[in-house]
Amino acid sequence: MADSDELFSGLYQAVLSGDEDGAARLATRALDSGHSALETIERALIPGIREAGDLWEEGEYFLPELVTAAQAMKAAMAVLQPVLGAEAKSLSLGRVVIATVEGDIHDIGKSLVATMLSANGFEVIDEGAGVPVSRLIERAREVDADLVCASALLTTTMPRQRELVNAVRSAGLRAKVMVGGAPVTRGWAEQIGADGHADNALSAVNVARTLVGHRAAG
Ligand code: B12
């Protein structure tokens, strides 16, 4: 147990200090020691990147330090994501188009949600970050999506989620809309008329299952 604490604390520090190689190496060690990818993400990576954000907000970190912390997180995610993906079931629960909205480059949370949806049997079309509503509509129509997911991490980009909801409705698409991102609350989701909202990648899977008409497992 003490070994695990030490391992996760090392990985947390590697993210915080922007040590890409160390983060990738410790993520590999976590898997080799029998920890799941999800546990590693939740116990070390997310706390690490959030602490970097807090330090930046407090003026302790400058933007380059936050950027290198995000790069270290991504290096570790590159090790862990294939493992999450490998658990994917062969059946498709539904087709999901996902992106971070236009004007917003934060893609870590969105990618985690995409990976978890995919690992849980959804067919996921990840359009990346900074994606205009018009492109999401185009893709949703093209693939006849069951669900369109939009992430926003900035209060200034949250209104794009409202535009998406309106655009999906006026385009007459059958897709449901799920929104998320650190500043996105259930209240906001309700206010803009979104069909669903989730605070983290695991609940995103359960909400997605409900929205496309499948009961949550367990
Ligand atoms: C890492 C980071 C960055 C990195 C992003 C790297 C990348 N490629 O993503 C860098 C350094 C580039 C960056 C840049 C900026 N950032 Co920044 N950043 C962060 C930070 C520290 C962490 C975000 C993160 O990755 N968290 C980890 C992931 C796993 O969590 P998450 O994103 O919340 O996602 C989870 C849930 O929200 C949910 N979820 C997410 N998306 C979705 C989607 C759906 C559909 C669902 C259901 C669920 C869901 O599930 C995820 C997994 O559990 C946050 C602080 C914070 N505490 O959030 C600030 C933060 C978001 N950034 C902020 C700002 C201001 C900026 C900049 C404008 C700074 C600048 N002056 O340039 C720029 C943005 C430029 C732009 N146009 O986008 C502010 C936003 C303030 C606000 N209220 O709007 C924050 C809150 C920091 C702060 N406290 O001030 N940032």
| pTM for the structure as a whole | 0.88
How many helices (H) does the chain have, and how many strands (E)?
10, 5
Give the Cα-Cα-Cα angle 16, 184, 202 (nearest 5 degrees): 70
Residues 75 and 146 in one domain: no
Position of tokens 């040590």? 19
When divided into structural domains, the chain yields a total of 2
Q: What is the greatest pairwise CA distance in the chain?
A: 55
10 Å Cβ neighbour count for 150? 32
For residue 152, which atom of ligand 1 is closest to its CA? 41
Centre of ligand 1 to C-alpha 1, Å, is: 31
With 60 as the cut, is the pLDDT of residue 166 above it? yes
Q: Which residues does 157 contact at the CB level (< 8 Å), separation at least 6?
A: 101, 102, 103, 104
Residues with CB under 6 A from ligand 1: 46, 49-50, 52-53, 57, 66-67, 70, 103-110, 112-113, 149-151, 153-156, 178-183, 198-201, 204
Residues 141, 42 within the same domain: no
**Tell me, what CATH number does 115's domain have?**
3.40.50.280
Both 159 and 198 in a single domain?
A: yes
Range of 160's domain?
Answer: 95-211
Residue minimizing CA distance to atom 68 of ligand 1: 154
Residue 214 pLDDT level (bands cut at 50, 70, 90): low
Looking at the structure, tell me whether residues 81 and 130 fall in a common domain. no
Write the residue with the smallest CA distance to atom 73 of ligand 1: 105
75 and 131 housed in the same domain? no
- 104 and 206 within one domain: yes
Strand partners, 125: 97
In the predicted model, is pLDDT for residue 84 greater than 90? no
The pLDDT tens digits for 99-152 are 999 999 999 999 989 988 887 789 999 999 999 999 999 999 999 999 999 999
Q: Write the CATH number for 75.
A: 1.10.1240.10
Whether residue 56 is found in the same domain as residue 99: no
Residue in 15, 56, 106, 131 to alter for ligand 1 test, most ligand atoms within 8 A of Cβ: 106
